[in-house]
Amino acid sequence: MTGSYTFTDGPAWGNWSVLGNAGFSSGESYYNALVLNSNDVPYVAYRDYANNLGLSVMRFSGSVWEIVGKVNAFDNAAVYISMAMGNNGNYPYISFADHSYSDRLSVATFDVWANKWIYLGPGGFSDSSISTLSPLVMDSNNVPYIVYQDWTYGNRISVKKYDAGQDRWNFVGDPGFSPDRAGYVSIAIGSGNIPYVAFQDSQVDMVSVMKYDAGQNKWIFVWQQWFTSKSPVYSSIKIDNNGVPYVLYADKDYDYNLCVMKYDAWMDKWSFLGNKWFTSGGVADIPSFAINSNNVPYVSYQNKILNNKATVMTYDSWSNQWIALGTSWFSADGAIYTSLDFDSNDVPYVTFQDKSATMKATVMNYSEVAATSGNYLYQWYRNGVAITWATGIDYIVTIDDLDKTISFEVLPYSSTFVPGVPVQSNITVPGPICGNGLIEIFETCDEGDAVNGQLGHCNLTCNGTTTQIVGNGGAGATVVSQDQCPSNRDCSSSYYDSLCGPCSETGTSHASASGDITDSSYSDELNQAYQRSFAHGITTMATIQKANMEGLLIRSHMAKMISNFAIKVLDKKPDTTLSCLFADTNNESAEMKFYIKTACQLGLMGRESDGKTTKKNFEPAGIITRAQFATVLSRLLYGDTYNSSDFAHRYTKHLQALHTKGIINDISTPNANEIRGYLMLMLMRAQK
């Protein structure tokens, strides 16, 4: 493989650096959005956990991050935040689902004279509430457009643009114009200010792209209606300076690996840009897609196989491959809600919710480092094929590496960009698969001091058994990793894993405990639901204020809550013969791993639609909707009674059954995100 990794313009490598201080927001940030203005000032908008979940905006002054206007700009909760900057603007436009208007869409702009954020047009201008991200863009005349999933029209797509003369938002073409329900909607503006939309088309579960034909006042398909592989998620569309559309999506059937397709107007077809599934390990959250002024596409994402850290990849037209920009994983820890933009010199900036900074907002930017004597380029290979994202000193093992030969190449460069002799080494990942069926991913291979002949190694472990470490010329060792166990398990044989060792009754029972509701602002029924949940270990927070009653419900937390309810209240027994292992849960705590496994063994979560096959991924950070929770609870209470073979209406009978029995009062917005307090409430009603 000597010399196979080539940089035609000379080597370019660089560093990602924190801009200002890490974790600059006052509290946890959600739905982070980033743009830079015409003076290269970065703005970050986010859902501010420290300020009643409201919309807060900060900018970098050159030395510190400062609030723009005031925190919680509209004195109410905001979610699904998107931000756009005009071509000559100093302040961004921001769209969000506005709790002041029952989660309908609002767009904000900044009033410099009043030093506050104000509505652009009326607040809450959509006809119904919003339950997904609704991207906002600007055309070349600084006219804002927004796309959203329109509940009024069966979750089909609607697009509106702002009419400054009338101070209102008008439909572009017909409302609800997509053929059927649309997911992961996205919008971009092409040549001649023609809007394009991309979306997951529920008719065949593929991505479709449509553009607006002003002459006919209708939306038409670009090429044919469907053109991607099946099961796409996180679709996003961008258009370069030549008017060429690009579509990004994650392929759910291929471990959420990313693909980018480019439209060729001459051939009238969509083709893959570079290597298909180029992320080699998949994304754990919605990626951010952007194209710089030189028409080079970039993508930032939360990297599932690299401890959920941030990765940025860019397309290299010379090699026709996607490559990692700088270190393959550059954030200090997990990075959620990544958002990507460029300054006027095409320097990329990324914001994210920073796990290393107590989930507060961080921004990092990239700077190239001039080559000097002693600089090296690294490339890792799997069975001789370059792993495109693996261009750092370290490589983290994935399940795809089992029984494969992992090799690395170190290419030294002089200060004048003269390459030296590449140094290579091979590392064989042991097999066959052992123990519970999976190697422990996230173990690290390092290149050692390869340029001086010292080879690196990989450390591999398997849960509950042993495997051989191979490396450093064949030196071996044995590593044992005990099965993951919950911290508060009791001695019930129905739900604790025998591999966890002896159980203890000490401190495990919550049955006689009563959670503290002093100074509670909630209704009597919610107070009672919290206390019952605390008594059964569904929540372990000793006061209702700490129980995060209004917090969004994510899949890993629901796994714990629904498992405790099923076992301790309904006396259900999990099928412990099922392995229920998932490729994307290795970064979870030992306790969360246990409850994820238990929820799967109970047949409640992590199963395919047949109810038997374990899914490859659990998506622990995924947000639960009311329809999803209702389906899980209905199946727990009534088995398969209300299942439906109609995919588009698979939740309907479950929701209706729970509504009829008085467990769920409101089923009008099934796609609305569920919150923790309402889960406790519905579990209490189900128990009565």
pLDDT tens digits, 550-592: 888 999 999 999 988 998 888 888 887 777 888 888 777 777 8
pLDDT for residue 2 is more than 70: no
Tokens 């804002």 sit at which residue?
144
**pLDDT band, residue 410 (cuts 50/70/90):** low
More confident of the two residues 615 and 608: 615
Window from 179-188, 227-236, 525-534 with minimum mean pLDDT: 227-236
Question: Apex CA 319: angle with CA 317 and CA 320, to 5°?
Answer: 55
Number of H helices, E strands in the chain: 6, 37
pLDDT for residue 178 is more than 60: yes
Give the pLDDT confidence score for residue 473 in this predicted structure: 25
Distance from chain centroid for Cα 164: 35
**pLDDT band, residue 419 (cuts 50/70/90):** very low
More confident of the two residues 22 and 541: 22
Give the pLDDT confidence score for residue 520 in this predicted structure: 87
Residue 348 is classified by DSSP as E
pLDDT tens-digit profile of 248-257? 999 888 888 8
**pLDDT band, residue 542 (cuts 50/70/90):** confident
In whole angstroms, give the CA distance from residue 158 to residue 172. 8
Distance from chain centroid for Cα 243: 28
Exposed e or buried b for every residue in 367-388, given b needs 16+ CB within 10 A? eeeebeeebbbbbbbbeeebbb
More confident of the two residues 425 and 412: 412
Give the pLDDT confidence score for residue 490 in this predicted structure: 42
Q: Which long-range contacts (CB under 8 A, 24 or more apart) does 3-6 make?
A: 3/419, 3/422, 4/386, 4/409, 5/377, 5/379, 5/386, 5/409, 5/411, 6/318, 6/319
Exposed e or buried b for every residue in 236-273, given b needs 16+ CB within 10 A? bbbbbeeebbbbbbbbbebbbbbbbbbbeeeeeebeeb
What average pLDDT does the segment 616-630 reach? Answer: 89
Whole-number average pLDDT of the chain: 79
What average pLDDT does the segment 256-260 reach? Answer: 91
pLDDT for residue 350 is more than 80: yes
What average pLDDT does the segment 271-293 reach? Answer: 88
pLDDT for residue 494 is more than 60: no
Provide the β-strand partners of residue 363: 351
3-class SS at 666? coil
More confident of the two residues 567 and 512: 567
Give the pLDDT confidence score for residue 451 in this predicted structure: 37
In contact, 424 and 408? CB cutoff 8 Å: yes
Nearest Cα to 482, choosing from 462, 496, 467? Answer: 462
Window from 203-212, 278-287, 654-663 with minimum mean pLDDT: 278-287
In contact, 97 and 79? CB cutoff 8 Å: yes
pLDDT for residue 49 is more than 60: yes
DSSP characters over 127-157: SS---S---EEE-TT--EEEEEEEGGGTTEE
SS3 content of the chain, % helix, strand, coil (to 5): 15, 35, 50
Nearest Cα to 659, choosing from 649, 668, 672? Answer: 668
Give the pLDDT confidence score for residue 153 in this predicted structure: 94
pLDDT for residue 648 is more than 70: no
Residue 566 is classified by DSSP as I
For residues 214, 215, 217, 220, the Cα torsion angle rounded to the nearest 10 degrees is -80
DSSP characters over 471-497: BGGG---EEEBPPP--TT--S-TTTS-
Share of the chain above pLDDT 70, in %: 75
Nearest Cα to 284, choosing from 256, 253, 247, 312? Answer: 256
Give the pLDDT confidence score for residue 647 in this predicted structure: 60
Give the pLDDT confidence score for residue 412 in this predicted structure: 58
DSSP characters over 77-119: BEEEEEEE--TT-SS-EEEEEEGGGTTEEEEEEEETTTTEEEE
For helices 676-687 and 524-535, what crossing angle results, to 10°? 80
The continuous run of DSSP H or E covering 458 comes out as strand 457-458
Window from 73-82, 360-369, 384-393, 602-611 with minimum mean pLDDT: 384-393
pLDDT tens-digit profile of 145-165? 999 999 999 999 999 999 999
pLDDT for residue 465 is more than 60: no
Provide the β-strand partners of residue 75: none
pLDDT tens-digit profile of 11-22? 344 689 999 999
Please state whether the predicted TM-score (pTM) of the whole model is above 0.85: no
3-class SS at 197? strand
Give the pLDDT confidence score for residue 641 in this predicted structure: 86
Give the pLDDT confidence score for residue 547 in this predicted structure: 87
Task: Describe the strand order of the beta sheet including 65-67 as a list of residue ranges.
Answer: 29-36, 42-48, 54-60, 65-67
What average pLDDT does the segment 534-562 reach? Answer: 87
pLDDT for residue 166 is more than 80: yes
Distances (CA, A) of 471 to 438, 535, 632: 20, 51, 46
In whole angstroms, give the CA distance from residue 97 to residue 454. 56
Rg of the chain's alpha carbons, rounded to an integer? 26
Give the pLDDT confidence score for residue 408 in this predicted structure: 65
In whole angstroms, give the CA distance from residue 497 to residue 503. 10
The continuous run of DSSP H or E covering 446 comes out as strand 444-446
The continuous run of DSSP H or E covering 524 comes out as helix 524-535
